[in-house]
Structure 1
Amino acid sequence: MAAQPSASTSSAPATGSAATGADKDVSSSNSPSNMPVRTKESFDKLMVERYITRDAIAAAALGGQLDQTRKIMSDTRDKIQEYRQVRTEYRQWFPPSRLYGEGYNGFANGYTENQGPSRIIYPSQKPRPGQRTTPPLKYKRKDMLKQAEQHEELVPLRLEVEWDKIKLRDTFTWNLHERLLQVELFAAQLVEDMGLKPPASQPVYEQVVHQMREQLNDFYPLVYSEDDALDPELPYSAYKNDEMRILVKLNITIGQHTLVDQFEWEINNPSNSPEDFAANMARDLSLSGEFTTAIAHCIREQTQLFTRSLYSVGHPFDGRPVEDPDLVGAFLQTPLPTVFRPQQQAKEYAPYLYELSEADLERNETIFSREQRRQKRSINRRGGPQLPDLRERQRTIRTLVVSSVLPGAAATIDESRLYKRAAGPRAKRVVRDGEISDSDDSDDSAPDSPAPSQITGGTARTRGMRGAASAAQQRMANLGRSETPESSAITHHHETRTSRRFREETEEPSHLIVTLKLSRDKLRRLMNRDYSDLRPPSQTPVSFPRAPSASTPSRSMPPPPSTPSSAMPHASATPSSSLPPGQLGRLPAPPTVPGQSSHMPSPPAPEWLVNALKELEKTYNRGDRFEATMKYSYLHPVTELPIQGQPLPEGVKYAWLPRIRCLDCTTKLYTPGPDMTVKKFETHLEFSGHKNAVAKRVAREANP
């Protein structure tokens, strides 16, 4: 064991010597003299060998690709040949249903098997959704920018189209300066939306275009004056009085719902927006969008009625008050006498929403048709009125669109009421109490307010019909309220029931004959137009004896409710509602005789007018001179309004109307009012022209 370390130790030098010899051999082999040297010939030879190898590999790959392409082309030709054989030779054994399944024709596009030429369908040629045939609205961007710069002037339009069995009614507003949408395109789309098909669509389309063009041409825009005061020191009311308040009445029927309301509207305020008001009203009452547009249309339509009247009388629209007496009476009183409305009128200015049944809808349709016929008769009688009838308010009935998507639309064509109802056995039955016949030509119509109207005159048959209709309307108005009858309902609807035989067999008289018994001297004076000794009629009502009635005293009509006394002791006794404004104290006048002088002595003025002018003279103690007089006037046979100009219509009435003559301004006469007052004449006394005339006269009298 001790010898091993020595052996290993002795061998270590030998191993070290061997390693040293190997290092010497490696160093000798790596010496620069023994390494191969690359020459240009050796490098070129190497590169040629690489090129040859790459070309051989590429040639082999190209050959394999050509072989594969030949094989694919051969297989494709065989497949095409097979398809051709299936299409031609083996078609009877391989129909398309066997190849592609049931429901396919060719390659499932319907054109492969037709052997027809291919065609390109452009976007303009694609069928429109819903199978619509009218062209869509198209416009350029620059045209839209020009339209955005135009002033918006909305025109209320009303469509009343009747053709065969079609009855189309609609109301909307149209921009007077519309340049993108043509009237013809709108009418075509409207007719298509209502579901009308040829040949009935063409006549309806022509009537819609005609009515729209006619109403657009007859539109009168309201002018708003923004001029400053001529004298800055004067108050605004001294030179301007531009408040024009009107009473807007709503009677809108859409589907089975009817909205009835009335409110005041200022037409001379450019800040008033009918669209904003209609949106707020519909939101407060939870009404549909159809009512929103209908309310806005009614406001603009009734505003246009007064605007057309202002144009017809030549109003300058510069802030001065309206001087035409008939037009002044149509506007509401200015300024307001009180800011609180009387409690008796609260129901008249509250909105009412009725849900009508099918029978009520037919009754409403009959009343609407009757009003249209009455308006046509009144226009034909006078041959075109000079002033629009400001007391008339047209009802709004809209034809619904048939749709299952639009809210509030009709589900079926019958609910839309686009077509007239066929007259069945019901139209031939006898009219009983409360029923209204479509063939009745009476001029009566339903009252504008829910309160029942006074039922007077007529026969037992007509009184029963009107009484039942008013009672039904009163019950409908009080739905959801207390069933306790009101005093007005008890007073107005208290009609004596008669037998059916008497009601059905009573004939209405076609003429009213009044027999007057006059002495021979008085008749001679009347024929000679001598009214000098005639006294003015008394302002208190005269009670005439009545024939004894068959009814018992317990069923007689109760006395009217008492009214508070006014400043004039006899003002409440005059029936102001039976005469138009400005005609209280009117007297009948004889007609003019051709060939004789038109001048005739006038009767004395009413006592209330003389007393009112005396009180006014005490108030304006500055030398103003005026007097009461009677003006010989021609009255329209239907409206009983004064007629200006010639020729006179048939059935014209002659009357003496109370007027006020200003002795300093002798160009015209002034109408008293309202009622038995002279407040309208007071505005004339405040005019600067009148004051200047009075000052000149006083100066002449002071310095003769």
Structure 2
Amino acid sequence: MSDVPIEIYAHRDKLHARTTERERNRAAAYIRRRRAQLETLQQAERLRAAGAAHAAAVFGPGYSGLGGNKSTEGKPRILYPKERKRPRSHLKEIFFTRAQFRQVALEEEVLVPIRLDFDSEKYKLRDTFTWNLNDHTIPIGLFADHLCEDYQLPPAPFVESIKRSIAEQLNDFHPHKFPEHAQQTSVVSDDSYTSHRDDDLRIPIKLDITIGRLNLVDQFEWDINAEYNQPEHFAQTTCLELGLAQEFQTAIAHAIREQCQLYTKSLFLVGHTFDGLAVADSDMRHALMDSLNGDVQRPKHLLDDFAPILSQLLPDQLERVEKEREREVRRNRRQTRTKRGPNLPDLNDLPKTYRTPYHNSVL
């Protein structure tokens, strides 16, 4: 066995002592860090237990004072609907109860086409919509107040005019009586009912709608005796096929209902019984479409008349359309003043739709 020099043992002891000291210092530093973390957690726990008054010491000031907001140091509280801040505190709130919803659900929906067209100083309002005749949850006056608030119109000249116009159109509305309903009240004659019956009562619908700079012109046939014909579904399909905005969807549905109402009112005034029998009045028969006799193919020279035409109007064309609309309004007012008693609506001069574009600063 060879002798090992003493210097080697001394060097090894020195290395071991140095390593042991380094590990001891590392363990002591780790213990100090863990104690500091424990003290921080214990302090936070004490502050949490003290209540929300010391929350800012834990979570900081938050958004206090930033942008004029209030401090977030207060304890959060649930706000109930009656405590919320209303954006239109000067107007009566539109509120519906569950009992009102149940009552409306039990009633049949009867949509009345409403047309608004007013000029007052620098303001012009042109709008069309439908109103459920059996829905009494919203008074007309409250609707007029909120409509003026939506369009930022002065309430003084417009609210009363809107209320009066809607009330007159609702009172003047005559619901269509479908043949299935009319049979129950019709008087049975000596002639066979089925031999003279013709439920087909088709009318020409003519669309001329201008919204913004877009103008839609179209013509098609519509059976007013078909109870399940829905103008809203037809308008939705048309807008999907032509790529039109939703503004056109509501305008098309309104135009269909408005023209159907003109023909229904005319038939009612001439004494038609809506029981499937032929129309007795010669002028009304001429205004209606001929009954289908087996050939449903349209002649080629009429194909262009029964096709949608969508065009973008230039500024000079828009000005010409505006002047034409003003002449039409003045003509209708003169005809209204000269009428005495019930008169047949003019089926050759169907109303056109001009809607006022409302520019929103957000959308």
1:379, 1:385 within 8 Å by CA — same for their partners in 2? no
TM-score normalized by the length of structure 2: 0.73
Q: Compute the displacement of 1:332 (Å).
A: 1.1
Aligned equivalents of 1:149, 1:252: Cα separation in 2 = 34
On the 8 A contact 1:239/1:320 being kept in 2, the answer is yes
Which residue of structure 2 aligns with residue 261 of structure 1?
Answer: 218
How many angstroms apart in 2 are the aligned matches of 1:235 and 1:316? 16
What do the CA deviations read for 1:506-536 (whole angstroms, capped 9, x no partner)?
xxxxxxxxxxxxxxxxxxxxxxxxxxxxxxx
Distance 1:108 1:136, change over 3 A: closer
Q: CA deviation at 1:381?
A: 4.2
Q: Conserved in 1, the CA contact under 8 Å of 2:218 and 2:308?
A: yes
| Partner residue in 1 for 2:50 | none
Which residue of structure 2 aligns with residue 189 of structure 1? 146
Superposed displacement of residue 270, structure 1: 0.2
Q: Please point out which of 326, 349, 354 is paired with 1:392.
A: 349
1:108–1:302: structure 2 CA closer, same or farther, 3 Å change rule? closer
What is the aligned partner in structure 2 of residue 578 from structure 1?
none
Name 2:333's counterpart in structure 1.
Answer: 376
Alignment-derived partner of residue 224 in structure 1? 178
Shift of residue 316, structure 1, vs aligned partner: 1.6
Q: Helix, strand or coil for the counterpart of 1:168?
A: strand
| Equivalent position amino acid for 2:176 in 1 | L
The residue that corresponds to 1:335 in the other structure is 292
| Stretches of structure 1 lacking an aligned partner (at least 5 in a row) | 1-101, 110-120, 407-704
For residue 345 of structure 2, give the secondary structure of its aligned residue in structure 1. Answer: coil
Residue deviations 1:137-185 (CA, integer Å, cap 9, x gap): 2121122111111100000000011212211010001100012122112
Query: CA distance change for structure 1 residues 123 and 324 in 2, over 3 Å: closer, same or farther?
Result: same
- Structure with the higher fraction of residues in helix conformation: 2
Compared CA separation, residues 208 and 333, structure 1 to 2 (3 A) = same
Residues 1:336 and 1:193: Cα distance change in structure 2 (over 3 Å): farther
- 1:374: Cα distance to partner? 2.2
**Separation in 2 of the partners of 1:236 and 1:253?**
45
1:207 aligned residue: 161
TM-score (norm 1): 0.39
Deviation of 1:336 after TM superposition, in Å, equals 4.4
Which stretch shifts more, 375-384 or 390-399? 375-384
Cα shift readout 1:550-575 (whole Å, capped 9, x = no counterpart): xxxxxxxxxxxxxxxxxxxxxxxxxx
Which residue of 2 is the match for residue 315 of structure 1? 272
Contact 2:144–2:162 (CA under 8 A) maintained in structure 1: yes
**What is the one-letter code of the residue matched to 2:156?**
Q
Aligned to 1:176: 133
Residue correspondence of structure 1 range 42-191 to structure 2 within 5 A? 123-124=81-82, 126-129=84-87, 133-191=90-148
In the TM superposition, what whole-angstrom CA distance separates every residue of 1:461-487 from its partner, at most 9, and x where no partner exists? xxxxxxxxxxxxxxxxxxxxxxxxxxx
**CA-CA distance at 1:250 after TM superposition:** 0.3
Separation (CA, whole Å) in 2 of partners of 1:155 and 1:263: 21
Q: Is the 8 A contact 2:113 2:131 kept in 1?
A: yes
Q: What is the match of residue 353 of structure 1?
A: 310
Q: Deviations over 1:424-474 (max 9, x none)?
A: xxxxxxxxxxxxxxxxxxxxxxxxxxxxxxxxxxxxxxxxxxxxxxxxxxx
- 2:144 counterpart SS class: helix
- Residues 1:356 and 1:382: Cα distance change in structure 2 (over 3 Å): same
> Partners in 1 of 2:118 and 2:202 — Cα distance?
32
CA distance in 2, matches of 1:340, 1:405: 49
Cα distance per residue 1:240-260 (max 9 Å; x no partner): 123211100000011110100
Residue 212 of structure 1 aligns to which amino acid in structure 2? I
| Other-structure match for 1:362 | 319
Give unmatched runs, 5+ long, in structure 2.
1-63, 72-78
The alpha carbon displacement at 1:357 in A equals 2.1
Could you say what the CA RMSD is over the residues aligned between the two structures, in angstroms? 3.2
Partner of 2:252: 295
TM-aligned CA deviation for residue 135 of structure 1: 3.1
- Give the conservation status (yes or no) of the 8 Å contact 1:193–1:401: no
Q: Measure how far apart 1:103 and its partner are.
A: 5.6
Conservation of the 8 A alpha-carbon contact between 1:170 and 1:398: yes
Q: Deviation at 1:186?
A: 1.4
SS at match of 2:286: helix
Asked whether the 8 Å contact 2:176–2:264 carries over to 1, the reply is yes
Quick check: 1:401 aligned with 2:335? no
Q: Which residue number corresponds to residue 27 of structure 2? A: none
Deviations 1:379-400 (A, max 9, x none): 4445466211111111101112
Task: Render the CA deviation track for 1:254-285: whole Å, top value 9, x for unaligned.
Answer: 11101000101000110111111111111111
Alignment partner of 1:353: what SS?
A: strand
What are the equivalent positions in structure 2 for 1:478-493 lying under 5 Å apart? Answer: none
Counterpart residue identity of residue 206, structure 2: K
Give the direction of change, closer, same or farther, for the CA distance of 1:382–1:174 in structure 2 (3 Å limit): closer
Mapping for residues 593-672 of structure 1, pairs under 5 Å: none
CA contact (8 A) 1:243 1:268 kept: yes
Deviation per residue, 1:309-364 (Å, 9 max, x gap)? 11111222222111011111111112347312121111111101111122221111
How many residues end up aligned between the 2 structures? 292
Identity of aligned residues (%): 42
The residue type paired with residue 353 of structure 1 is L
Larger RCO (CA under 8 A, 6+ residues apart): 2
**d(CA) in 2 for partners of 1:173 and 1:242?**
26
Q: How far apart, CA to CA, are the structure 2 residues paired with 1:280 and 1:165? A: 37
